[in-house]
């Protein structure tokens, strides 16, 4: 969660759409009220590490799990809920090795990746039209789409049109 998340939640509510939020523990701590709101409104909860620092997250399988557990603890503190959904920082490839994956699964976690990248995190000033075009072009030939978005201003501006298209 960040300063853009409440407006994103408003759009989702207006459009009667649910989303899954993979959250950084540090942001949950900074925005407990927003994390609580998205939980209360029935959105999916996932963790995305505590720091998003690849040197800290991927030092070992246990450092990976520590990052996810600490984020999950922050989630519980803010919402009263824990989750078994996680999204590895930068996706499960190239940094997550088989040993890390196996350990996370043995702890009950479900590792979630995406098959559509909105490209909203690549550049600081991506135009909302670029985000829209990326999503529309990638979902065109898919039966099912898991779309990667970030809580960015340009994503916020593109989201209503994307939802209407889908």
Q: Which residues contact 138 (CB under 8 A, 6 or more apart)?
A: 115, 116, 117, 145
Q: Encoding tokens for residue 20?
A: 């899954």
Q: Is the pTM of this model over 0.85?
A: yes
Q: What is the pLDDT of residue 124?
A: 65
Distances (CA, A) of 77 to 57, 96, 110: 21, 27, 21
Count of Cβ atoms closer than 10 Å to residue 115 Cβ: 12
Could you list the mean pLDDT of each consecutive 10-residue stretch along the chain, which spans 166 residues? 97 98 98 98 98 94 97 98 96 92 96 94 80 95 94 94 97
Separation between Cα atoms, residue 17 and residue 46, nearest integer Å: 17
Q: What is the pLDDT of residue 123?
A: 61
């Amino acid at each position: 969660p960040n300063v853009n998340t409440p407006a994103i939640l408003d759009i989702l509510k207006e459009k009667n759409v649910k989303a899954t939020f993979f959250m950084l523990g540090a942001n949950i701590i900074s925005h407990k009220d927003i994390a609580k709101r998205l939980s209360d409104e029935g959105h999916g909860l996932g963790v995305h590490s505590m720091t998003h620092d690849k040197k800290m997250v991927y030092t070992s399988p246990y450092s990976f799990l520590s990052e996810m557990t600490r984020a999950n603890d922050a989630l519980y503190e803010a919402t009263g809920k824990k989750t078994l959904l996680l999204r590895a920082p930068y996706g499960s490839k190239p940094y997550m090795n088989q040993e890390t994956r196996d350990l996370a699964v043995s702890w009950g976690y479900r590792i979630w990746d995406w098959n559509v990248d909105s490209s909203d995190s690549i550049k600081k000033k991506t135009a909302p039209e670029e985000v829209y075009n990326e999503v529309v072009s990638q979902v065109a030939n898919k039966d099912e789409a898991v779309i990667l978005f970030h809580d960015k201003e340009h994503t916020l501006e593109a989201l209503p049109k994307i939802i209407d298209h889908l």
